[in-house]
Amino acid sequence: MQQINHTQNIIEFQDVSFSYGEEVVIKDISMAIHKGDYLGVIGPNGGGKSTLLKLMLGLLTPTSGKILLFGTEIEKFKDWPKFGYISQKVTHVDPHFPMTVKEVVMMGRYPKLGLLRFPSNKDRERVHTALKQVEMWDFKDRLIGDLSGGQQQRVFIARALAGDPEIIVLDEPTVGVDVKTQKQFYSLLQKLNKELDLTLVLASHELDIVGHESTEIAYINRTLVYYGFPKAFMQSEYFEKLSGKGVHSDA
Amino acid sequence: MLNLFQYGFMIRALEVGLIIGAIAPLIGIFLVLRRYSLIADTLSHVSLAGVAIGLLLGINPLITAIGASVISSVAIEKLRLSKKVYGESALSIFLSGSLALAVVIISLAHGFSVDLFNYLFGSIVTVKQSDVLIILVTGIFVLLAIIALYKELVYITFDEEAAKVGGIPTKTINTIFIILAALTVALAIPIVGILLISALVVVPVVTALQLKTSFLRTIVYAEVISLFSVFTGIIASFYLNLAAGGAIVLTSLMIFGIVLLLNRRGRPAKING
C-alpha cells in the first residue's frame, strides 16, 4: 500500500465494516500495518478510532470483511501474547485497587504463562527489565493508585513490555495528562519503536503531535479518509481543513 | 475451654466454619473489587428458596440450596450479559423472586419454624455429620479452583479488556467464578445463616482493603480476619448461646471498626494523588 517500504504485514484489514445495530461506525476499511510501523490513528471523536483498534484486537467482530493478524484470519489467530494493549481506562485506575506496581507488571506475563502455571524467577526478571525500561523500577512496591497519571502510563507500558509483544496498541493514552508528562510519554514510545523495534498503533485526537511522532498516519472518519506518511498528510488539504477547525468540532 | 472439643457438634462446627472462613474472602476480594458484592446477598436469598424446597420435600436442605444457588448464579449472569435488564435489576429480580418463592413454600408447609430460624441466622448445632462431608469436599474444591484460576481472576478484575486481548478466556472464567461464589454462599448457610453470609464475604475484605497494601497481602489479611472472626464467633456462640452467624459477623465488624479507627489515628490527613 502506498510507497511504504516495510516487508511483513502484521495486521491487514480487507473491506472491514462494523455497525452497532443500524449505525455504521466503520465502513469498507482496507489497510495494512507492517512490522516496525508507528501508526497514528487519528480522526474526530466518534469517528471510529477506538472501534478500529478493538476490531484488530478481536474485542469486536466485523460485520463484514476480513482481518488478518500475522497472516492468519483473526478467528483462527491464537498468538495473542504478541499483542500488548493499553486502553483508555489506563488513566482511570481505581485509586483504591490494592495492587503494587510490580503486581501490575507481572500481569503482563500471565497470558504467556497460561492456565495453572505460576510465575517463576524468569518472569520476575522480565518484570524487573520491563520496569527498568520505563524507568519505574524505583516505584516497584508502590500502589498503582498512589502514582500520578504519567507514572501509571509508564507502568502500563511496562506491563505490555513484560509480555514480550511484537505490537503495542494504545487507545488515547494521554487523555487527562499534562503537557510535560505527555512529552515524556511520547519520547518513551519513540524509544520502543526505534530501539526495541516494536510496532505501535496509537489512536489519538492530537493531530499535531501524532503527525510529528508517527511514521504512518491513518485518518479515520467512518471510512479511511487518508493513509500514508505524516509529512504528506500535514501538507495535504485534509490537515489544513482539520487543523483549521480543530478535530473536535468535527465530531 | 478444653471440654469444648468433647462435643461432636463443636468439632463439626469448627471444621465447617474454618473452611467457610477460608474461602469466603477469596471469593469476596474479587466480588468487592468488581463492585459486585451484592450478588452474594442475592444468592443467599436464592439459597433460602432452596432450603425451603429441601425442607418441604424432605431432601437435605444443603443440597437443594447448593442446586438453587448454582443454577441461579448462571441465570443471573446470562440475564445480566444479555443487557435486557441492568445488572442490579437482574440481582433484584432474583433476590425478591426467590424470597417470594421461599415465603410461599414456607406458608404452604407451615411447619419447620425452628429449623428455618437456624438456617436464617446460622447455628453451631445445625451442622450435621452428612453436611460436614459435603461442605469440606466442596469447600476444598472451591479453594483449589480459586488458586488454579488466581492469575486469570486477578487480571480480569483489574483490566478485563487487556485480559481478553491477552487471550484469557474471560467469559468462561467469569462463569466458573460465579459458580464458585454460588457454592461458597450455599455452603456457608448452616453455620453463618442466609441473612449474614454476604457480610462474611465482604467485611473481612473491606477491612483488609483499609490497610492499603499489595493484592496478595490484602488476601492474607482478609483470610486472617475471616478465620479469626469465624473461630471467635463459634466459640462465643457455644459459651454464650448466641446465633453463630451473628457472633461471627459482629466479630468481623468489630475488627473493621478497630482498623478504621487505627488507620485514622496512625495516618496524617489524606494526601491527594
**Of the candidates A179, A250, A251, A247, the residue with the CA atom closest to the CA atom of residue A40:** A247
Rg (CA), chain B: 19
CB contact under 8 A, B167 and A163: no
CB of B3 closer than 8 Å to CB of B180:
no
Q: Which residue has the cell 480476619?
A: B225
Which of B162, B215, B273 lies nearest to residue A99, judging by beta carbons? B215
Q: What gap in Å lies between CA B134 and CA B127, rounded to an integer?
A: 11
Q: What's the mean pLDDT in B65-74? A: 96
* pLDDT tens for each residue of B195-240: 889 999 999 999 999 999 999 999 999 999 999 999 999 999 999 9
For CA atoms B124, B127, B133, B137, give the dihedral sign: negative
pLDDT band at A123 (very low <50, low <70, confident <90, very high): very high
Which of B155, B168, B209 lies nearest to residue A98, judging by beta carbons? B209
Q: What gap in Å lies between CA A45 and CA A106, rounded to an integer?
A: 33
CB contact under 8 A, A100 and B209: no
Which of A59, A98, A100 lies nearest to residue B161, judging by beta carbons? A59
CB of A92 closer than 8 Å to CB of A99:
no
Reading the block at residue B218, the C-alpha cell is 490484602
**Of the candidates B30, B161, B46, the residue with the CA atom closest to the CA atom of residue B97:** B46
Q: What gap in Å lies between CA B69 and CA B67, rounded to an integer?
A: 6
A112 vs B219: which has the higher pLDDT: B219
Question: Which ranges of B5-112 would DSSP assign to H, the alpha helix?
Answer: 8-33, 38-57, 61-81, 87-109
CB contact under 8 A, A107 and B154: yes
CB contact under 8 A, A98 and B165: no
What pLDDT sits at residue A248? 46
**Of the candidates B240, B232, B263, the residue with the CA atom closest to the CA atom of residue B21:** B232
Residue A91 has pLDDT above 70, yes or no: no
**Of the candidates B153, B193, B147, B196, the residue with the CA atom closest to the CA atom of residue B34:** B153
Q: How far is A222 from chain B (nearest CA, A)?
A: 23
Q: Which is it for strands A216-221 and A38-42: parallel, antiparallel or unpaired?
A: parallel
What pLDDT sits at residue B122? 84
What pLDDT sits at residue A249? 40
Mean pLDDT, all residues of chain B:
90
What pLDDT sits at residue B268? 52
Q: What gap in Å lies between CA B189 and CA B47, rounded to an integer?
A: 8
Chain B residue with the nearest C-alpha to that of A113: B151
CB contact under 8 A, B214 and A118: no
- Report the complex ipTM: 0.87
* pLDDT tens for each residue of B94-145: 999 999 999 899 888 776 666 778 888 888 887 888 889 999 999 999 999 9
- pTM of the predicted model, to two decimals? 0.89
Tell me if chain B has a CB within 8 Å of the CB of A118.
yes
**Of the candidates B240, B147, B34, B161, the residue with the CA atom closest to the CA atom of residue A115:** B147
**Of the candidates A102, A119, A200, the residue with the CA atom closest to the CA atom of residue A158:** A102
**DSSP for residue A215:** S
Neighbours of A141 (CB within 10 A): 11
What pLDDT sits at residue B143? 96
Reading the block at residue A120, the C-alpha cell is 517463576
What pLDDT sits at residue A1? 41
